[in-house]
Amino acid sequence: MDKDSVTFRFLAEPTDVNFGGKVHGGIVMKWIDQAGYACAALWSGHYCVTVSVAAIKFHRPILVGQLVEVEAKIANTGKTSMQIFIAVRCGDPKSGQMVESNNCIINFVATDQAGYPVPVPAFEAKTANEKRIQKYAQKMKDMSLQAEKVFEQEMKEE
């Protein structure tokens, strides 16, 4: 079993839909968090907690009865953190043709039993695609840190 990726596959169910008849965005976010956790825990060998989600973008709706694939891949690592690239695809279960519904970067931190951060193995991007995703993940991390600084500054001003 590869330790750098996890893929969930299942059918979108009637209980997953919103008032518009499409799968609810919150349900998709739950799937993203679950697949991201599984990937982070497998990579680190520890319990992991979600820290943030960056740049989640919904390209198309997921319909009831469609096959859904949530792929989580290690994109980048820090000392105790992991950035996971998530791609959500959906399509006809009869044909197997899938299209991307959305993607994002989700950040996790590995913890010990007391909840304190613990070191994670370093990820080394090898393929050209892994290097592109790692670069994207690092940019999202940098933007997130910058946004946090802006927020803190704005909250201090009165």
| Domains identified in the chain and CATH numbers | 5-156 (3.10.129.10)
What letter does residue 91 receive in the DSSP assignment? E
Tell me the percentage of the chain whose pLDDT exceeds 90: 85
pTM of the model as a whole: 0.92
Q: Are 58 and 28 in contact (CB under 8 A)?
A: yes
Identity of the residue numbered 139: K
Q: What's the CA dihedral at 93, 95, 99, 103 to 10 degrees?
A: 40
Q: Using one digit for the tens of pLDDT, what is the confidence trace for 123-148?
A: 999 999 999 999 999 999 999 889 98
Q: Using one digit for the tens of pLDDT, what is the confidence trace for 53-80?
A: 988 989 999 999 999 999 999 999 999 9
Query: Does 158 have pLDDT greater than 70?
Result: no
